[in-house]
Structure 1
Amino acid sequence: MDELNKILVIEDEERIRRLLKMYLEREGYEIDEAGDGESGLELAMENNYSLILLDLMLPEMDGIEVCKTIRTKKVTPIIMLTAKGEESNRVEGFEVGTDDYIVKPFSPREVVLRVKALLRRSTATSLPAVNSTTKDVLEFEHIEIDNDAHRVLADGEEVSLTPKEYELLHFLASAPDKVFDREQLLKEVWQYEFFGDLRTVDTHVKRLREKLNKVSEGAGKMIVTVWGVGYKFEVTDE
């Protein structure tokens, strides 16, 4: 089966795993399962998945550690499943590279919709354009964003970004020097109300800057904080 249809579910509650498997298989996805963090991590590192559903509270190795380790090697989209009252853990999840989260108890239909939305956004930018004579590329002094190849170059060196980090950068760079507040970014990049947790944006901006800075300080400086307002992609004439 096409890897774009393959999903890994890492969840220690068998009832929830069965429920998610049933609903996702109805939509044509192939499902692999793991009941703990260690076995889930092993599957995630040895196989290519289009998306991973990852429970936060797992035996042996929790979801934060699993996500952090996956992110050392892969940019696979990750949706974290969390219980109410674990907001600080969710923020930590974003800091280590989670793309989205769903709060328990959840509707299986909601999970399906969120999975489809994240896959649609990540694959739409990663697949090359068909029958297109014009390349979809944003070029600046320190950064080149090739939307056809879903690739970012900072001073000529490729930068590995998660789907959400890429979306955020592409959105900001599509409107140079325009300031966006956090609410706008949540609506436009995440495409739905994100439970009012504005720190989601902050953690993604922080990770994006760090990755750009490792390759090019000039590229990292283009993501600018406008204090009291939000963020912008700054283009300066040097």
Structure 2
Amino acid sequence: MKNEGYRVLEAENGVQVLEALRREPVDLVILDVMMPEMDGIQACFKIRERSNVPIIMLSAKSEDIDKIAGLTTGADDYVAKPFNPLELVARVRAQLRRQSFAGSGAAKAADDAVIEIDDLIINKDRHQVSVRGKDVALTPTEFSILELLASNRGRVFNIDNIYQSVWKEEKFLSDNTIMVHIRKIREKIEDNPREPRYLKTVWGVGYKID
């Protein structure tokens, strides 16, 4: 990361991670799952209680169930060890690029910045979502996926479309990763995630919001 020009803060465990985040503003967090005192899963939960900073999880475990566990804690991406350092750099760039794209709409007209779909309200400039007047906390990746689908009502996006639009990169995640993010969004915005009112599946094709 330093060779790529990033300023890096290091922490030996989850407790030190939380302390570092309290001291200084951070643009992205890379968490190893296996850490002493407080592991990466616990640290991710704690971070999500106070911040939507992008989080990339690292783990020696590569089974899909382990990836799902990492993502359901609120992580935005998951990299299994061993990995090519250049791949991790690419993931970091993709997350930061996505954040910069998300924050580039300050000059938009106010009516373009707010999407209203029945009781679902999405404020793109403020990165805020509410359902029936109640605020919903989404991770940056969850928000970007929801914003993409809501901004293109009726259009069906497949896995590749979503990845390229949200990450601004060619797809290098498994299909399962997008599916986990979709599931988490539904759990947060739908009354019954099994029968979604907003975020719908078009079987064999992809996802849409009407």
TM-score, normalised with respect to structure 2: 0.82
Structure 2 matches for 1:11-90, cutoff 5 A?
Answer: 20=1, 22-24=2-4, 27=5, 29-44=6-21, 47-83=24-60, 85-90=62-67
Higher Rg of the two aligned structures: 1
Structure 2 matches for 1:1-238, cutoff 5 A?
Answer: 20=1, 22-24=2-4, 27=5, 29-44=6-21, 47-83=24-60, 85-126=62-103, 129-130=106-107, 132-133=108-109, 135-190=112-167, 191-195=169-173, 197-213=174-190, 221-234=197-210
Change (3 A) 1:144 1:43: same
1:49, 1:77 → 2: CA distance? 9
> 112-121 or 74-83: which moved more?
112-121
1:127, 1:179 → 2: CA distance? 25
1:127–1:149 CA contact under 8 A, matched in 2? no
> 145-154 or 89-98: which moved more?
145-154
2:20, 2:150 → 1: CA distance? 35
Aligned-pair CA distance for 1:34: 0.6
1:23–1:112 CA contact under 8 A, matched in 2? no
- Segments of structure 2 that go 5 or more residues without pairing to the other structure are none
1:188, 1:203 → 2: CA distance? 17
SS of the residue aligned with 2:143? Answer: helix
1:127–1:150 CA contact under 8 A, matched in 2? no
- Segments of structure 1 that go 5 or more residues without pairing to the other structure are 1-19
Aligned-pair CA distance for 1:129: 1.8
Q: CA RMSD in A?
A: 2.7
2:176, 2:18 → 1: CA distance? 27
**Count of residues in Structure 1 that have an aligned counterpart in Structure 2:** 206
Aligned-pair CA distance for 1:172: 0.9
TM-score, normalised with respect to structure 1: 0.73
> 85-94 or 165-174: which moved more?
85-94
Change (3 A) 1:127 1:156: farther
The structure with higher relative contact order (CA 8 Å, sep 6+) is 2
SS of the residue aligned with 1:69? Answer: helix
2:184, 2:23 → 1: CA distance? 25
Aligned-pair CA distance for 1:133: 4.7
Return the letter of the residue paired with 1:226. V
Give aligned-pair identity as a percent.
38
Return the letter of the residue paired with 1:98. A
1:75–1:163 CA contact under 8 A, matched in 2? yes
Change (3 A) 1:129 1:198: same
